[in-house]
A and B are shown apart, each in its own frame.
Chain A
Amino acid sequence: MIDTSVDLGGLRMATPVATASGTFGYGFEYVGALDYSKLGAVTAKGIRLNPWPGNGMPRHCEVAGGLVNAIGLQGTGIEHFLDITVPHYMEQVRNAPPMIVNIWGGSVEEYAEVARRLTEAAATEEGRIIGAIECNVSCPNVKEGGHTFGQDPAVLNRLVKAVREKTTLPLIVKLAPNVPDIRPYVRACEDGGADALSMINTIPAMVIDIEKRRPVLANRTGGLSGRGIHPAAVKLVYDAHNATKLPILAMGGVYEAKDAIEFMLAGATAVAVGTATFTDPSVAEKVYDGMVDYCERHGFASVADLTAALV
């Protein structure tokens, strides 16, 4: 029997496979299409304080090796999320895995307030499934110039500290890939009190319709995800792991067990499947089965032993 449990900065996961934010709705949408017992966690779609309409249409475009999207974080806000969505998830999903709640905002204060509300809810019977907070730092800091929080280590550090003050839940920070050197950002999170890192977010991208001579997406630009970004993600996970002791939830182009195992060997503690779910809703199960099979074949007693097991 392979021990498949992992500890992601205090979030106890029964398996090392999670779902990535934005690709798995609020956890219940895929009921019937996969075996949830093979998931260590689900990550809810990004949530902020108030309802947010998201971007105009079109919001996505299929490209070679993946998908470019600019959904724009449409969501109902924290109140509806706690009152309706979380209870619905617990009701719909049998043996529901813990939920990592992805949060975002336009200011440091907004993140902190959302984190506080989640922490409060997680201590109640109705909200006990909330297992961790994941900060999306790739959205614009509206209050201070509009640059994204994740593009300046000092701003990132301030954000992480502010959220840390308001939560006792495991705090994961989701890093942006488009930085020249990931290490200052990793240290900013570590110093700010983060419990774990997740990476990578989508890579900024653009698709142009050459006949219309217009960007395809209504938002003009979007984020690239899918198979094509996987090697770039592996490198960033490797770099980040070498710069920190924080556990890493790795994501970016996981379509099969091989991709997940690469992430583990590069230094990840757990992995998330994202865009692949759209094509194959039960891909997480297959990734899990393949990881267990790999451990058996290579004599690893525990999936956790795969972390940074490069020779």
Chain B
Amino acid sequence: MQDASARVVEHREIGAGYRFLVFEVPEMAVALTPGQFVHVKVPALESSALRRPFSVFDAADGKVSVLYKTVGRGTAALNSVKPSDVVSVLGPLGHGFPLKCEGTALLVGGGYGVAPLHFLARVLKASGHGDIEVFIGGRTKDDLLAVDRFRALGVKVFLATNDGSEGVKGLVTDPLDDELQRIREAGGRFELFACGPDPMLKAVALRATGTGSRGWISMDRHMICGVGACYACIQKTVRGNSRCCVEGPVFRAEDLVWE
């Protein structure tokens, strides 16, 4: 873990309220693995403001990218960051996804939750694991992010929107369930990897728990320290109150306790 001075090399809007931000931070780019996060000091906020955590969309060629939605004061202030600005980035942080998968890798993302799944898909692909399917869900087509980036990786992409404006009308678990059934009927194996809103994560986790298949769930929580020091970002698990920043953000599906 290091606190690096990262130079912003790209920052652009990629749809309604969503932005793509790229830092040049070579050492960290090498060290990061899919599912880990970085803790960013937002320059436009007062100097005492807390950092904001972001899952990594990709880390390669000396660069680290994140994808975020403007949801509050911190992300709104982050909007003003420009290329060549220098930002303090703490990382790599957290416990990420496993980088081996048995059978089909089923990646399920909602909204900006696709970010760590993109990094995972690219790394799995690069390591020779070709059998990857990605399920992307959102309220409308504006919430379906990075679809082209996934397609460019050569993975199969399924889309679902609540309003039917793109892909299947319904929940992301609808096309997922069809695929799960197809894989089971063919006697295949699979692992689930998910990041997104809590109800979606719970739905995905339940599809892995008790099935003999593994599920890996990345939780999104407000954080203070990001390094395991403060115990603010708690997720209930079978081991008690676990910290999302060190025991997570990626947890085994069967370890999660849902309230």
Give chain A's interface residues, CB within 8 Å of chain B: 22-25, 29-33, 45, 51, 53-54, 57-60, 62, 65-67, 69, 71, 74, 226-227, 255, 275-282
- How far does the Cβ of A230 sit from chain B's closest Cβ, in whole Å? 10
Which of A23, A32, A227 is in CB contact (< 8 Å) with B48?
Answer: A227
Q: List 29 A-B contacts (CB under 8 A).
A: A22-B230, A25-B229, A29-B228, A29-B246, A30-B227, A32-B2, A33-B1, A33-B2, A45-B231, A54-B234, A59-B232, A60-B222, A60-B230, A60-B232, A67-B50, A67-B224, A71-B232, A74-B231, A275-B48, A278-B224, A278-B225, A279-B47, A279-B48, A279-B50, A279-B51, A280-B3, A281-B90, A281-B227, A282-B3
B77 to chain A: which residues have CB within 8 Å? none
- Report the minimal beta-carbon distance from B6 to chain A, rounded to whole angstroms: 14
* Contact A278/B50 with A23-B230, A53-B241 known, Cβ cut-off 8 Å: yes
> Looking at the complex, which one of B3, B49, B90, B231 makes contact with A62 (CB distance below 8 Å)?
B49
Q: Name the B residues within 8 Å of A226 (CB-CB).
A: 48
Instruction: Please name the 6 residue pairs, one residue from A and one from B, whose CB atoms are nearest each other, closest first.
Output: A25-B229, A29-B229, A32-B1, A60-B232, A227-B48, A29-B227
Q: Which of B41-56 contact A (CB under 8 A)?
A: 41, 47-51
Task: State whether A54 touches B90 (Cβ < 8 A).
Answer: no
Please give the residue numbers on chain B whose beta carbons come within 8 Å of chain A beta carbons, in ascending order. 1-3, 41, 47-51, 88, 90, 221-222, 224-225, 227-232, 234, 240-241, 246
Chain A residue at smallest Cβ distance from B3? A33
Measured CA separation A182–B157 after assembly (Å)? 65
The A-B contact count (CB < 8 A) is 84
Q: Are A23 and B227 in contact (CB under 8 A)?
A: no
Interface contacts beyond A71-B230, A279-B51: sample of 12 additional A-B pairs, CB < 8 Å, sorted by A: A23-B225, A24-B229, A25-B229, A30-B227, A30-B229, A33-B1, A51-B240, A59-B234, A71-B232, A275-B48, A278-B225, A278-B230
Which residue in chain B gives the minimum CB-CB distance to A76? B240
Q: With the chains together, A275 CA to B41 CA distance in Å? A: 14
Contact B48 A33 (CB under 8 A): no
Question: Judging by beta carbons under 8 Å apart, are A280 and B41 in contact?
Answer: yes
Which residues of chain B are near A281, meaning CB under 8 Å?
3, 90, 227
- B88, B224, B231: the one contacting A54 at CB < 8 Å is B231
- Complex contacts, A66 vs chain B, CB 8 Å: 48
Whether the pair B1, A59 counts as a contact (CB closer than 8 A) is: no
Q: Which one of B90, B230, B231, B234 contacts A33 once the chains associate, using CB atoms below 8 Å? A: B90
Smallest beta-carbon distance B106→chain A, Å: 28
